[in-house]
Amino acid sequence: MRKMASFVNLMAAGLLAGNELGTWAAVHPALEKLRPPERVRAEQELTRRFGAIMPFWMATAVLSCLPNLALSAGKPGFRPTLAGTLCFAAMLASTRLGNVPINERTLEIDPEKDIKDFERLRDRWGRLHTLRVALTTAGIGFLVAGTVSG
């Protein structure tokens, strides 16, 4: 039972961590090269697409930590699994409280008129996304350490 819980957890958390790292390292830096109106439109399209899938994906990653954590209680892998679970929970909280309101505002921006507002929002979003990448990267590391510790 623990092996299956760990497998599901590592798949969900690992896919999420990889996605977050990829958007941080490749997607958003590429979008920064676009002229402002095109960048706004591109960010709006990404926001719509990710907005449709990320709530489920993030919740799945976080919730999949719970059975893994419960089944590791009393075992050597409990503490790293707890640390990984806390990283993913913190990522979800920072996303909901920080990135989501910015995403909602991004969808309202006029690409031809609100460039300064957009740039200010994206700077804050970028800092929050960097935090999210750090938390998911650390989180998957801890979850893997918990799994291999037994």
Residue 4 in contact with residue 141, Cβ under 8 Å?
Answer: no
Q: Is 74 left (phi over 0), alpha (psi -120 to 50) or beta?
A: left
Give the pLDDT of residue 150: 80
Q: What is the pLDDT of residues 7-40, one digit of tens each?
A: 999 999 999 999 999 999 999 999 999 999 999 9
Q: How much is the pTM?
A: 0.94
Q: What is the pLDDT of residues 76-98, one digit of tens each?
A: 999 999 999 999 999 999 999 99
Locate the domains of the chain by residue range.
2-149
How many angstroms separate the CA atoms of 123 and 71, rounded? 40
Residue 109 phi/psi, 5° resolution?
-70, 140
Residue 113 phi/psi, 5° resolution?
-120, -30
